[in-house]
Amino acid sequence: MASIAGRKNRRGVHHTRVAFARAAWRICLKPSSKPDLKPRLNPDQQTDPQRGQKPDRHPSPLSLSRRHFSLAAASTVLAACTTAGTQTTDNKSVTATPPPSAKTQRPIRVGLALGGGAARGFAHIGVIKGLEARNIQVDLITGTSAGSVVAALYASGLNGFALNKLALTMDEASISDWAMPFRNRGILQGVALQNFLNTTLRDRPIEKMARPLGVVSTDLRTGQAILFQRGNTGIAVRASCSIPSIFEPVRIASHEYVDGGLVSPVPASFARKMGADFVIAVDISSRPETAPTQSQFDVLMQTFTIMGQSIKNYELEKYADIVIRPNLNAMSSSDFTQRNAAILAGEEAAAKIFPEIERKLAAARTATA
């Protein structure tokens, strides 16, 4: 409808201009018989400014023709201006609508939270291998106790296969350093573990890792959970692994720190605080009814598990989107000889839960689109 109206408007303008042009030519070729309506001065009072003579009181037909032609031309110009103004108004009423811009989808930040469990921590390596095999990209990682060891190595840039190789070739004696007999705050110092990590990581601090890393420990004086995100990686991991009565507390500045599992068995909440939109938590703690208690260390670890059960369940329910629980019922927390079996259990658990991870990740991406 708008285009039809525009064509009619242009035809009207054209006919008007043709009519005015014809009228102008008739005026030029034939003097008008109509009287001149322009007011005139008295001929006796009108003089020529150049010669000082009185003008002719009877103007010639040629002057009349010129006067009428001027009037016709002026009328044509005014008509053209009027129609042009109308056309401009119509153009302004038509506005171009830009195409809708495509929405940019914000990438989902996936956080991996690795819990504590001593020798059971080798299962974390299997979980990482399973996630990598299915192209699940981890953007940041947090760890508690044994989970902090794997978290630090993974955050440095080592992939699952490199971690697997390191775990199978690692000598348990290389990370064990007995405390002096007169010391009674712990059986092990933990310095050997600290040195092992710093050597493997080439003294890379926490803030220089390939992935953002958070190491969770417990302030011995206040009982508060502390998240280390800067500083010496080996010292932070040592503090996170310092099981009371087994390892000596770690002094950093004026504070002493012990195992992070006391207050955050699986640090899903800290993964959220670090900016994760989607948290995959790995729980390697044993269930009280199935845990073997073959040694004093097993009894101590089981005691910590029972004490932290309610804390862990609350944290996982509130902050974790996915919880992976490798089947480690037959493995003791102190049995470092079953590291390969623990790695395989982690791989199997990741493969089993992958459809749920894929479905929930897709829903999370849709929600942020």
Residues marked active site are found at: 145, 259
Rounded to 5 degrees, what angle do the CA atoms 114, 322, 338 make? Answer: 45
Rounded CA separation 145/310 (Å): 18
- SS3 (DSSP) at 196: helix
Q: What backbone torsions phi and psi does residue 202 show, to the nearest 5 degrees?
A: 55, 45
The Cα 239–Cα 242 span in angstroms is 5
Helices and strands counted in the chain (H then E): 11, 10
Residue 256 is inside which H or E element, if any?
A: strand 255-259
CB 218 within 8 A of CB 165: no
Q: Are 114 and 144 in contact (CB under 8 A)?
A: yes
The secondary structure of residue 257, as a DSSP letter, is E
Strands 255-259 and 250-252, bridge-based pairing: antiparallel
| Alpha helix ranges (H) inside the chain | 2-29, 61-92, 123-133, 146-155, 160-169, 191-200, 233-240, 268-273, 296-307, 309-319, 339-368
Q: Is 323 left (phi over 0), alpha (psi -120 to 50) or beta?
A: beta
CB atoms within 10 A of CB 8: 10
Interior angle at CA 26, CA 24 and CA 30, nearest 5: 125
For residue 319, which amino acid is it? Y
Give residue for tokens 């259990």: 345
